[in-house]
């Protein structure tokens, strides 16, 4: 395990809690891999185009949100905050561009069938883009809707520290998905290109949330507070796993997803080595 130089500054309890958290995220990554492998085994033009268009829409939403954060940073005069927002916005723009390029290639000149792809974004971006009431997306993408709204509700029900930790495991937790896609079996030009894109994105996303985990551990209020959060953090991982399956047009049935969820909660899935291997 690669350790960050500042890791020594954690107390034994803080270090223990951090390891427990990274283990949850790594088990989540291994669970996510099952969904990605199910997609890889059931790939069709429709599925490739569906998830790609939706992901491009989501990355665009992320560009808008991080760019908005730039405006929020300036009145406080924090150049560090502004630099981070600019950097994040730029990275999301690169992700958007990469997915869009692959989508265009995969469309083979046909029009994109997902006309509303830009509505597949977080609630904040949805509002910034002027789409109106986010509830409109519920019927179209119920699991994507649940992923964002339930996570927000869990943050709301938690302390400020707890909410920050849930958020760190939210967008940052998506590293699991990018990591799993970067290891998709290469069978054609599409998967070859995809692996290349995902390696880059997974590295970027490690800095869109997980980089705050170490500092959050230094501020750990108590072990009890983390224990109370544990189920919420697991829930956030499971919500994204359902959301990705939906994004792929459900290569796994609801029944198979429920079984996968039970295996995750029952700790029957061996954790991957993603988050514990990163210098967080
Ligand atoms: Fe991104
Ligand atoms: Fe991101």
173: DSSP letter: G
Q: How far is the CA of 255 from the centre of ligand 2 (A)?
A: 30
Q: How far is the CA of 205 from the centre of ligand 1 (A)?
A: 6
Least distant ligand from the CA of 88: 2
Handedness of CA 32, 48, 205, 70 (dihedral sign): negative
Q: By CB neighbour count within 10 A (0-12 exposed, 13-18 middle, 19+ buried), where does 77 fall? A: exposed
Q: How far is the CA of 92 from the centre of ligand 1 (A)?
A: 5
pLDDT tier at 4, thresholds 50, 70, 90: low
Q: How far is the CA of 277 from the centre of ligand 1 (A)?
A: 20
> Which of 106, 50, 39, 44 is CA-nearest to residue 241?
39
Q: How far is the CA of 53 from the centre of ligand 1 (A)?
A: 14
Which secondary structure element, helix H or strand E, spans residue 50, and what is its range? helix 45-73
Structural domain contains residue 23: yes
Q: How far is the CA of 280 from the centre of ligand 1 (A)?
A: 19
> Between these two residues, 126 and 211, which has the higher pLDDT value?
126
Summarize pLDDT for 12-68 with one digit per residue, the tens: 999 999 999 999 999 999 999 999 999 999 999 999 999 999 999 999 999 999 998
Our count of domains for the chain comes to: 1
**Rounded to whole angstroms, how far apart are CA atoms 4 and 278?**
9
Q: How far is the CA of 120 from the centre of ligand 2 (A)?
A: 15
> Which of 182, 141, 253 is CA-nearest to residue 36?
182
pLDDT tier at 125, thresholds 50, 70, 90: very high
Structural domain contains residue 131: yes
pLDDT of residue 208: 83
Structural domain contains residue 280: no
> Between these two residues, 275 and 280, which has the higher pLDDT value?
275
Q: How far is the CA of 95 from the centre of ligand 2 (A)?
A: 9
**Rounded to whole angstroms, how far apart are CA atoms 35 and 31?**
7
Q: How far is the CA of 174 from the centre of ligand 1 (A)?
A: 9
Summarize pLDDT for 153-209 with one digit per residue, the tens: 999 999 999 999 999 998 778 899 999 999 999 999 999 999 999 999 998 888 888
Q: How far is the CA of 278 from the centre of ligand 2 (A)?
A: 16
The torsion region of residue 203 among left (phi > 0), alpha (psi -120 to 50) and beta comes to alpha
Structural domain contains residue 141: yes
Distance of CA 149 to the CA centre of its chain: 14
Summarize pLDDT for 252-271 with one digit per residue, the tens: 999 999 999 999 999 999 99
In this structure, what are the phi and psi dihedrals at residue 209, rounded to the nearest 5 degrees? 145, -60
Structural domain contains residue 279: no
Q: How far is the CA of 244 from the centre of ligand 2 (A)?
A: 16
Least distant ligand from the CA of 201: 1
pLDDT at 5 over 50: no
Structural domain contains residue 204: yes
- Residue 87: which domain range? 5-265
Q: How far is the CA of 10 from the centre of ligand 2 (A)?
A: 27
Least distant ligand from the CA of 170: 2
What CATH number corresponds to the domain at position 197?
1.20.910
> Do 178 and 278 meet the contact criterion of CB atoms below 8 Å apart?
no
Structural domain contains residue 59: yes
**Rounded to whole angstroms, how far apart are CA atoms 29 and 276?**
11
Q: How far is the CA of 61 from the centre of ligand 1 (A)?
A: 9
CA angle 107, 112, 113 (to 5 degrees): 120
pLDDT at 1 over 80: no
Write the CA distances from 250 to 37, 47, 187, 245, 256, integer angstroms: 12, 9, 21, 5, 10
Structural domain contains residue 277: no
> Do 55 and 99 meet the contact criterion of CB atoms below 8 Å apart?
yes
Q: How far is the CA of 202 from the centre of ligand 2 (A)?
A: 9
Q: How far is the CA of 43 from the centre of ligand 2 (A)?
A: 25
């Amino acid at each position: 395990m690669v350790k960050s130089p500042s890791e020594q500054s954690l107390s034994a309890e803080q270090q223990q809690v951090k390891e427990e958290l990274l283990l949850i995220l790594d088990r989540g990554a291994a669970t996510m891999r099952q969904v990605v492998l199910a997609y890889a085994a059931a790939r069709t033009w429709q599925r490739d185009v569906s998830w790609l268009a939706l992901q491009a829409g989501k990355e665009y939403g992320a560009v808008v949100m991080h760019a908005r954060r730039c405006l929020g940073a300036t009145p406080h005069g924090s150049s560090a905050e502004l630099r981070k927002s600019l950097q994040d916005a730029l990275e999301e723009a690169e992700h958007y561009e990469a997915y869009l390029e692959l989508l265009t290639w995969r469309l083979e000149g046909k029009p994109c069938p997902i006309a509303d792809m830009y509505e597949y974004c977080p609630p904040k971006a949805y509002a910034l883009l002027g789409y109106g009431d986010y509830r409109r997306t519920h019927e179209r993408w119920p699991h994507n809707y649940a992923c964002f709204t339930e996570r927000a509700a869990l943050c709301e029900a938690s302390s400020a520290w707890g909410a920050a930790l849930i958020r760190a495991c939210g967008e940052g937790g998506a590293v699991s998905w990018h990591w799993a896609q970067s290891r998709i079996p290469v069978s054609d030009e599409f998967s070859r290109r995809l692996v290349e894109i995902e390696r880059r994105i997974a590295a970027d996303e490690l800095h869109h949330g997980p980089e705050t985990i170490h500092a959050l551990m230094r501020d750990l209020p108590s072990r009890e507070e983390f224990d109370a959060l544990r189920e919420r953090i697991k829930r956030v991982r499971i919500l994204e796993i359902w959301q990705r399956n939906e994004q792929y047009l459900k290569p796994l049935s609801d029944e198979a997803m429920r079984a996968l969820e039970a295996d995750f909660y029952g700790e029957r899935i061996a954790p991957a080595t993603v988050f514990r291997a990163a210098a967080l």
